């Protein structure tokens, strides 16, 4: 915490004014809405206007575009995203004025302490989908949960909800050790991979962070972890947990899988728990569903509720999301921004039977592109046509000397489009029946696909 003498509980209460720096972020936006529902006055700022900031403004929250010292006027406290450094003008102004500054994760940590059950879903990949699956299950079972998801869920029409039950379900990110501010009674670890190497030193450092995270669970709590993933097993060695996976040695596993992994039986504790007919496809989504089933089983949720909920789940926003068709080509959008996520995405897409897979990829951050360069080349070389557009910088400046053109030069037959307008124009020129066009990345590449669909 920025000011050790200040207690966050004294500031997150009705009538207090909190200013959120980076309010358009995937967990900052729902935080602002939840705090407002608690009777607080909320304002915020973000570098860029977006769908998220538009939503906040439409709901009466004052959002400034651009970070300026005057934006914090009248605030009792400031809550910042992990990407907002001390040289941010609003953070600097708050420090100079002695206004308490809290981390986003501290705010969510405080909120979750009010619930008997805090289910925190962590992992390098799959958090949004698994959190969304659990939301479907717990709502179908009548548990009326409070939810925070790092994306949009059609069931909610948002990325969050405030329920009246005793359970809160939260997507829990490891970046900057944010999830170590949480108070999980149930911790889910989906997998552990090398990522966020602008913060973590190496894979061992990441594994240590996840180990600390699960150690936050009380003795009578629940840990659910991927028994198929070696990094997860290594990180949690010596810790007791409910394991899930495809391997039958796990406490929870699947069997009798269909070729697209939509249909399978779930075995929990050696007994048949349920039969799933998923509304999403791919091995990675089967693993996400097994994690959700492990939690549901340990919470004594009836199999019928789990089956119905997961049959109705059609994915979260920007997770292989169908956007429309252009000149006979189907356009999908996906948030994948790590080579392992690309691999899972493209493996699933191959099951869909398209004649040609066109992947328009926008790398996310220079540090990730540099650290995982050869892995990106390998995965993008597997598609029929890779189209690269400039790196989405997010919180970074290019101090490592890497570009999307560098990637394109190493991928046979690929095309480099320096900006989104050029990307849209190129996709429009090549689209034909039988194609699937994927706009992929955690930045704003989705706008190219949406612009393409608006050309008709």
CA-wise closest residue to 150 among 130, 126, 173, 128? 128
CA angle 152, 346, 410 (to 5 degrees): 115
CA-wise closest residue to 28 among 3, 6, 69, 61? 61
**The token pair that represents 315 in the structure block:** 């994915």
As a whole number of angstroms, the longest Cα–Cα distance in the chain is 63
Scan for tokens 């869920």, then name that residue.
Answer: 153
CA-wise closest residue to 19 among 112, 85, 87, 93? 93
Sheet holding 62-65, edge to edge: 62-65, 41-46, 17-21, 77-80, 101-103
Q: Which helix (H) or strand (E) holds 436?
A: strand 435-440
The count of residues in the chain is: 456
Instruction: Kindly report the number of other CB atoms within 10 A of residue 268's CB atom.
Output: 21
d(CA 174, CA 172): 7
Contacts (Cβ under 8 Å, ≥6 apart) of 140: 305, 306, 308, 309, 312
Torsion angle in degrees (nearest 10) through CA of 125, 127, 130, 131: 180
- Residues marked active site are found at 127-128, 171
Buried b (16+ CB within 10 A) or exposed e, 212-250: ebbebbeeeebbbbbbbbebbeebbeeeebbbbbbeeeb
Contacts (Cβ under 8 Å, ≥6 apart) of 14: 38, 39, 40
d(CA 364, CA 175): 14
């Amino acid at each position: 915490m920025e000011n050790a003498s200040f207690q966050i509980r004294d500031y997150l209460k009705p009538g207090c004014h909190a200013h959120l720096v980076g309010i358009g972020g995937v967990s900052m936006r729902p935080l602002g809405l939840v705090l407002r529902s608690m009777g607080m006055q909320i304002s915020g700022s973000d570098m860029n206007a977006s769908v998220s900031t538009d939503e906040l403004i439409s709901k009466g929250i004052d959002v400034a575009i651009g970070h300026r010292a005057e934006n914090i006027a009248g605030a009792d406290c400031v809550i910042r995203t992990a990407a907002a450094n001390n040289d941010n003008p609003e953070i600097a102004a708050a420090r100079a004025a002695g206004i308490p500054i809290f981390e986003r994760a501290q705010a969510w940590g405080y909120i979750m302490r009010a619930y008997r059950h805090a289910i925190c879903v962590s992992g390098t990949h799959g958090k949004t989908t698994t959190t969304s699956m659990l939301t479907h299950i717990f709502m179908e079972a009548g548990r009326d949960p409070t939810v925070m998801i790092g994306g949009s869920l059609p069931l909610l029409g948002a990325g969050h909800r405030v329920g009246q039950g005793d359970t809160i379900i939260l997507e829990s990110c490891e970046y900057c050790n944010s999830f170590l501010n949480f108070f999980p009674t149930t911790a889910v670890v989906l997998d552990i991979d090398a990522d966020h190497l602008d913060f973590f030193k190496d894979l061992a450092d990441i594994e240590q962070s996840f180990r600390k995270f699960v150690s936050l669970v009380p003795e009578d709590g629940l840990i659910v972890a991927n028994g198929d993933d070696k990094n997860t097993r290594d990180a949690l060695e010596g810790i007791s947990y409910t394991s899930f996976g495809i391997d039958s040695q796990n406490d929870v596993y699947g069997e009798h899988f269909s070729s697209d992994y939509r249909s399978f039986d779930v075995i929990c504790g050696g007994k048949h728990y349920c039969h799933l007919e998923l509304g999403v496809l791919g091995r990675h989504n089967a693993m996400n569903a097994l994690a959700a089933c492990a939690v549901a089983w340990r919470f004594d949720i009836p199999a019928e509720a789990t089956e119905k909920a997961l049959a109705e789940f059609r994915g979260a926003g920007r997770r292989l999301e169908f956007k429309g068709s252009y000149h006979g080509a189907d356009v999908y959008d996906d948030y994948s921004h790590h080579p392992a996520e690309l691999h899972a995405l493209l493996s699933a897409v191959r099951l869909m039977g398209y004649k040609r897979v066109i992947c328009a990829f926008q790398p996310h951050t220079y540090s990730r592109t540099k650290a995982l360069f050869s892995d990106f080349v390998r995965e993008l070389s597997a598609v029929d046509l890779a189209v690269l557009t400039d790196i989405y910088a997010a919180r970074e400046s290019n101090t490592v000397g890497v570009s999307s053109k560098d990637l394109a030069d190493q991928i046979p037959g690929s095309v480099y489009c320096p900006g989104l307008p050029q990307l849209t124009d190129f996709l429009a020129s090549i689209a034909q029946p039988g194609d699937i066009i994927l706009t992929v990345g955690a930045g704003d590449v989705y706008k190219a696909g949406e612009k393409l669909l608006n050309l008709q």
